[in-house]
Structure formats: structure tokens, C-alpha cells
Amino acid sequence: MDKFRMIFQFLQSNQESFMNGICGIMALASAQMYSAFDFNCPCLPHYNLAYGLGILLVPPFILFLLGFVLNNNVSMLAEEWRRPRGQRGKDPAVLRYMFCSMAQRAMVAPVVWVSVTLLDGKCITCAFCTSVPVETLGNASHSGLSQGEMKRVLARIPCKEIYDGQEFIANEVAVRYLRCISQALGWCFVLLMTLLAFLVRSLRPCFTQAAFLKSRYWSHYIDIERKLFDETCAEHARSFAKVCIQQFFEGMNTDLAAARCHPPRKAPDDVGETAEKLLGITDQGTMNVALKSWHRCKPPLHLHPPALPSGNGWAGEKQPPAHPPTPRREMAAYYSRV
Amino acid sequence: MDRFRMIFQYFQSNSESITNGICGLLALASVKMYTCFDFSCPCLPGYNMAYGLGIMFIPPIALFLCGLILNRQSVVMLEEWRRPQGHRKKDLAVIRYMCSSIMQRAMVAPVVWIVVTLLDGKCLICAFSSSVDPEKFVGFANASPLQVQQLLAKVPCKDDELMRNNTSRKAVSRYLRCWSQALGWSILLILIIAAFLARWLRPCFNQATLLQARHWSNYIDIEQKIFEETCCEHSRLFAHKCILHFFESMQQEIKLHSFSLPREGEGAEGEEDLLWGITDQDQVNKFLKMWYYEKPPLDVSQVTQR
């Protein structure tokens, strides 16, 4: 567990490392998904192309979108793009930098899927088996079949058990041919992608280094500012809730005391912390009333200024007010996202 | 756990070790990719050579480029090469040193791929089966040239119906595999001897220059890392001050607008700091709306001058 925590801390400490980690995980998941996927060519003339190309192109598109969804910075980019100008100018270079870095990371898993698919060969074999050059690889001249029937026969190439065109073109020959083409395409695709990545990475320092440093700094700044703001708001919400609940209990206590016609109980100074934490509720009946009141009628989201406590929750312990403040009661409970 | 942490820290502390680690991982990935890859020779006269040589040479190029991309030092070196001179002179020896160390590390995975390919033999059998001299092999000596080409092209495919029990096919296959493995072992031997000589003889030439170049290349790397960390730290402090300033300005605005709130007691200061005077649902909503519609300017000079 320590090991994982250390690795996790290392990745989290550097935001970019974390994103790279997610990107790597998605690439591995993409390769694993392909090997787990049960490819079933339909072996019918018009369906083969649709199925083969669909399996080749639709999952990468989904993985690309997933790459954006899993990236926390997407909402940050959208927020920065759409916010009103206000007192702070907007820098399009920063937005471009954020979008490019997200897009680059999201591209990795689709590229891995397409490469693995092409290198495996099943998709291309399924999609293009009706286009095999029978004249060069086999003997088409001997057959008396029409074009359509020939296509139907060729469409069954990926399904060895039902293939019946052995005399026109041997199944192994056709499969080897198609797989060779598919693997050649796959390796060329891999080479092209690595060349592109290399050019993007190496041309940047040669041309736009100063602008890059600026954009990177401000995009980190926006991210950190958002996180700090959320943390500060969470602290505020915590204090707000604490004070609100303390005031609720005080109000409860005061009400009960007023109902029983004796002054509110004050904890004697020498009893200590435990008595203070009891907030004046020391019997079952009072506690039940307090719980019922909390459920039926939550207090309003409005703290009483004179009653802001000095630390241990008792209003009026140091400077007792003339009258205990009556809390406002509202009939309808409402929820607010603070 | 301590041991693992120590290893981890050792690797992190020395960036050369990290790049060595990446280099090793890439070499292992190269071997794994080769074993996972389903090699299927097309066994057709024109296609064999292209396929065989393609599988032998294209993945190494891709692996070399990957080795350059994954190495952080290549970006550092390019930045150092292209930066304007400014107040700091550029030392070409340092840049050359960095370049050579990056290239050496990036070459490992491609060499591993080529050596594994040659030792396995399938690529060379596929590529050169049509180029074998048919006179040497009994089964092919008496056929017409066209037939010979077709038959030789099918040698790499053991399961082909023509080749299933053909002893001459096995002879050709063994012959080519022998050549392939000899080539593979020779290349490995030459490379290891070259690496050995380079490492042994290096101290004899320009050791002082080498030490300087290595020191300054480490320095440039570390300086860049520290600069990035300092920028992150600075942006964190900047954001903190900016947000504090925003909260304080909200607090002042609230104070100005609500005269009826007597602030009694010093005891209220503790919680008040955390509440920033925002004690009401409407105030919170207004505060959040203002954060969205009017983010504060990126200027904390008033805060720092206090």
C-alpha cells in the first residue's frame, strides 16, 4: 500500500505527470480491449466492409472522446473560454496551449487501437476480402460465376469453415495477402505517427519557446487558482456549517428553556469540555425534540452577527445579551448549493 | 518498502538514471512487441522482399523516434541549441555531448529489434527465399524458371499445400536461417566490441573536456527542472494572494453595505477570519457569481505592499 501511495503522490505532485499516467493507462486499456474483443466477420458481401471499417474507426473515435472526458482540465478550459472578461483579460494563446496538450494526450489511445487493429490484420481481411485480385493470385478464368456470385464466394474468405472457393483462390493465399497489406499499412501508420510526434516535440523549441513558457505558466496558474479557490470555499462552507449548527442548538435550548419558564442553563465554569459539548441538551426528551426539529425545520442559511461564537459555542457566555435572540423559523425547507 | 523508496529516490535524483531506465524499458518493449507480432510472410514473388525488409527496418525507425521523444533531455538540448546568446555563452561541446548521449540511448531499442529479428530468422527467410540459387537444392534444380520463382517464394510458408512435406523447402529454410543467425551474432559481437572499446578508450582522450561537458549538461538539466518547480511555487503563491485579496474586497464591500452589524467582542475574530464576513446565503451566491463574472485582475501589488 505504501508503494502505491508513494507512486500516487509522485504522479499527483506534478499535474502533467498525472495526465501522462492516465494517458498511458488508456493506451494499455485500448490494447487490452482489442485483445478481449471477439471479432466476428459477417462474411456477407456488403456487410464485411461496413463491419471491418466500423471496428477500425468507431472505437478510436469513442476513445478520443473518452480521453477528453477523463481529463479534469476540460472543464477548466471550457470555463476559461466562456467566462466574461471582467477585470481580467483573456489570452487566446493560453487557451490554445491547453487545448493542444489535451488533444495530444487524448490521441494516444485511438492511435494505439488503430495500430493494433492494422497489425493484427483481421479488420482489413474482413473489409477488403471481396477486392482480392483473383486473376493474379488464383485462377478466375476457370469459373463461370457472375460478378455477384464471385463476390459472395470471396466474402467468405475470413470464415474458413464455410469457404467454398478453394479452386478459384486458396484461402491461405488470400488471407496471407490481405494480412501482409494490413501489416504494411499498420507499420507505416505507426511510423507516420511517431514522426509527427517527433516533429511536434522538436520543432517547438526552435520557434516559439518564449510564447510557450508564458502559456504554460498561465495555464498552470489557472489550474492552481481554481483548486485553491475550491479549497477556500470548502473551508468557508465548513465554518459556515459549524456556526449555523451551533446557533441552531443554542436556539433550541433557548426555546425549550423559555417553554419551561426558567432561564437558559449555563454550564458552570468548572465542569469542563464535556459539559460544553453537550450544548445544554442533557436528557432524552430534549434530544428527541432537537432531532425532530432538525428534520422538520432546518435553520435558515443566515448567521446571526452578534452570536458569532468565541470558540466553544456558547453565545452570551462572556457578554450576555439582554434578550436571547429568537431564531427565524421558515416553514419551507430548501436546499442550496454553496 | 524502505528499499523500494530508496531505489525510487535514487532513480529520481539522477536524471541520467531515469533515461537509462526508460531506455531499458523501451528495449524490453521492443522484444515483447516482436514476440507478440504475428509474422506472416505473403509468400508471393514480388511481395516477399518488401515485407521481409520492411518488418526488419521500419519498426526500428519508429523505435528510434520513440526513444528520442520519450527522452526529456532531447528537448533540453534543443532549447539550449536554439536559445539566443544573451548573457550566457553557448558551449558547443556541451551540446555535442548531450546529443551523443541522447543518440546512444535512442539506438538501443532499434538495435535490439534488428538483432532479435536476425536471430529469429523469419524475416530474412521471407525476404531472400526468392534470391537463393536453385541449383544448390535438389527439389528446385529441374523446374522451369517461373515455377522455381513461385516455389521459392512459398518456402517461408510451411503450411502451404505445395510445400507441406517438401524436403527441399526445409533445406532452403535452414540455409537462410543459418545465414540470418550468423549475421545476427556478428552484429551483436561487433556492437559489443565497439561499446567496450569506446568505454575503455574514452578516458585516454580529452578526459577533462568530457568531465566539463558532463557537468554542464547536468547543470542545464537541473536548472531547467528547478526553474519549472519555482514557477509552480510562484504561481501557487500568486493564486493564494489573489484569492485572499478577492475575499477581503468582498468583506469590505459587505461591511460598507451593512451598517447594522455591530462587531461585538474580540472573540469573534477567530471564526470571522474563516468566514470573511460572508454569513448569509445571498451573500455567498453573490460572491460566487462575482467570481465567475468578474475574476480579479492578475495584480497583487497592493496586497504585497501592505
Q: Tens of pLDDT along A145-194?
A: 788 888 888 899 999 888 888 888 888 889 999 999 999 999 999 999 99
Mean pLDDT of chain A: 81
Average pLDDT of the residues in A53-70: 93
Q: How distant, in Å, are the alpha carbons of A278, A312, B174 from that of A267?
A: 9, 12, 98
Q: Maximum Cα–Cα distance for chain A, whole Å?
A: 113
pLDDT at B161: 74
From CA B46, how far away is CA A173, in angstroms rounded? 14
CA dihedral A218, A221, A227, A230 (to 10 degrees): -90
Average pLDDT over residues A242-261: 82
Residues of A in contact with B239 (CB under 8 A): 221, 224-225, 228
Q: Tell me the nearest-neighbour CA distance from B174 into chain A, angstroms.
A: 22
B24 shares its domain with B98: no
Q: pLDDT value at position B110?
A: 96
Chain A: give the shortest CA distance to residue B122, in Å: 14
What total number of domains does chain A contain? 1
Q: Point out the residue among A180, A243, A336 whose CB comes nearest to the CB of B47.
A: A180
> What is the pLDDT confidence band of residue A316, given thresholds at 50, 70 and 90?
very low
Check whether A318 has a pLDDT greater than 50.
no
Any alpha helices (H) in B71-166, and if so which ranges? 72-82, 92-120, 122-128, 138-141, 145-153
Q: Is A105 exposed, middle or buried (0-12, 13-18, 19+ CB in 10 A)?
A: buried
Q: In this structure, are B45 and B193 located in the same domain?
A: yes
Mean pLDDT along residues A31-44: 91
Strand partners, A288: none
B297: in domain: no
State which residue of chain A sits closest to B266, comparing Cα positions: A310
Lowest mean pLDDT among A84-98, A296-310, B143-157: A296-310
Same domain, B30 and B4: yes
- Specify whether the backbone of A281 is left (phi greater than 0), alpha (psi in -120 to 50) or beta: beta
Cell readout for A31 is 490494447
What the block records as the C-alpha cell of A29 is 486499456
CB A290 within 8 A of CB A252: yes
Chain A hits for B21, CB-CB cut-off 8 Å, are none
Yes or no, beta carbons of A86 and B37 under 8 Å apart: no
What per-residue confidence (pLDDT) applies to A325? 40
In a domain, B272, yes or no: no
Establish if A106 belongs to a structural domain.
yes
Q: How many residues does chain A have?
A: 338
| Chain centroid offset of residue A149 CA | 50
**pLDDT higher than 60, residue A322:** no
Domain membership of residue B260 (yes or no) is: no
Q: How far is B277 from chain A (nearest CA, A)?
A: 9
On whether both B1 and B131 belong to a single domain, the answer is no
Q: Which three cell numbers stand for residue A15?
A: 499535474
Nearest CB among B44, B75, B281 relative to A336 is that of B281
pLDDT of the residue at A332: 43
- B18 contacts chain A (CB < 8 A): no
A264, part of any domain: no
Q: From the CB of residue A256, how many other CB atoms can be counted at a distance below 10 Å?
A: 19
Task: Determine the pLDDT at residue A113.
Answer: 95
Q: Report whether B169 contacts B177 (CB < 8 A).
A: no
Q: Which domain holds residue B16?
A: 1-36
Q: Give domain status of residue B259, yes or no.
A: no
Alpha-carbon dihedral angle through residues B149, B152, B156, B161, given to the nearest 10 degrees: 90
B97 with B237, same domain? Answer: no
Task: Report pLDDT for A120.
Answer: 93
Among A195, A242, A201, CA closest to A101? A201
* B271 located within any domain: no
pLDDT at position B105: 93
Enumerate residues 21 to 60 of chain B having a beta carbon within 8 A of any beta carbon in chain A.
37-38, 40-44, 47, 50-51, 54-55, 58-59
Q: What is the b/e burial string over A145-173, where b = at least 16 CB atoms within 10 angstroms of the residue's CB?
A: eeeeebbbbbbbbbbeeebebeebbbbbb
Entry pTM: 0.79
Contact B2/A at CB under 8 A? no
Interface contact B271, partner A, CB < 8 A: yes
Verify that B24 and B138 share a domain, yes or no.
no
In a domain, B284, yes or no: no
Nearest by CB to residue B42, choosing from A10, A180, A336, is: A180
Q: Which residues of A touch B40 (CB under 8 A)?
A: 121, 176, 179-180, 183
8 Å CB contact between B35 and B113 = no
Instruction: Note whether B92 and B12 are same-domain residues.
Output: no
- Do B148 and B76 belong to one domain? yes
- Picking from B214, B230, B253, the residue at the C-terminal end of a domain is B253
**Residues facing residue B59 across a β-bridge:** none
Q: Which of A2, A87, A239 sits opposite B295 (nearest CB)?
A: A87
Distance CA B100, CA B106 (A): 10
Please state the rounded mean pLDDT for residues A213-229.
88
Four-residue CA torsion sign, B267, B273, B277, B283: negative
Residue B119 confidence (pLDDT): 96
Among all residues of chain A, which has the CA nearest to that of B285?
A: A338
Query: Is B270 at the interface with chain A, CB within 8 A?
Result: yes
Question: Please, are residues B146 and B61 in contact by the beta-carbon 8 Å criterion?
Answer: no
Domain assignment of residue B181, yes or no: yes
Are B231 and A87 inside 8 Å of each other by CB? no
Q: What would the mean pLDDT of A290-297 be, rounded to a whole number? A: 83
- Residue A44 placed within a domain: yes
A83 to B263: CB separation less than 8 angstroms, yes or no: no
Residue at A47 is within a domain: yes
What is the least distance, in Å, from the CA of A69 to any CA of chain B?
23
Predicted confidence (pLDDT) at residue A23 exceeds the cutoff of 80 = yes
* B235 contact residues in A (CB cutoff 8 A): 217, 220-221, 224
B113 lies in the same domain as B173: yes
On whether residue A253 sits in a domain, the answer given is no
- A313 within a domain of the structure (yes/no): no
Indicate the pLDDT class of residue A7, thresholds 50, 70 and 90. low
Q: Please determine, for residue A253, whether its predicted confidence score (pLDDT) is greater than 70.
A: yes
Interchain CB distance below 8 Å, B271 and A119: no
* Helical segments of chain B, H only: 2-13, 15-36, 47-70, 72-82, 92-120, 122-128, 138-141, 145-153, 167-201, 207-257, 269-275, 281-293, 301-304
Cβ <8 Å between A88 and B297: yes
Name residue, grid cell 490484420. A121
pLDDT at B271 (0 to 100)? 56
- What range defines the domain where residue A195 resides? 19-208
Please tell me the total count of domains within chain B: 3
> Does residue A324 form part of some domain?
no
Distance CA B81, CA A87 (A): 39
Do B110 and B233 lie in one domain? The reply is no
Domain C-terminal end among B187, B202, B217: B202
CB contact under 8 A, A225 and B62: no
Q: Which of A75, A134, A176, A181 to mutate to test the interface with B (most CBs of B within 10 A)?
A: A176
Note the ipTM here: 0.82
Average pLDDT over every residue of A103-115: 93
Facing residue for A220 by CB, picked from B232, B268, B279: B232
Cα of A326 to nearest chain B Cα, Å: 17
Which residues on neighbouring strands pair with residue B215, listed in sequence order? none
* pLDDT < 70 regions, chain B: 1, 3-5, 7-14, 259-273, 302-306
In a domain, A7, yes or no: no
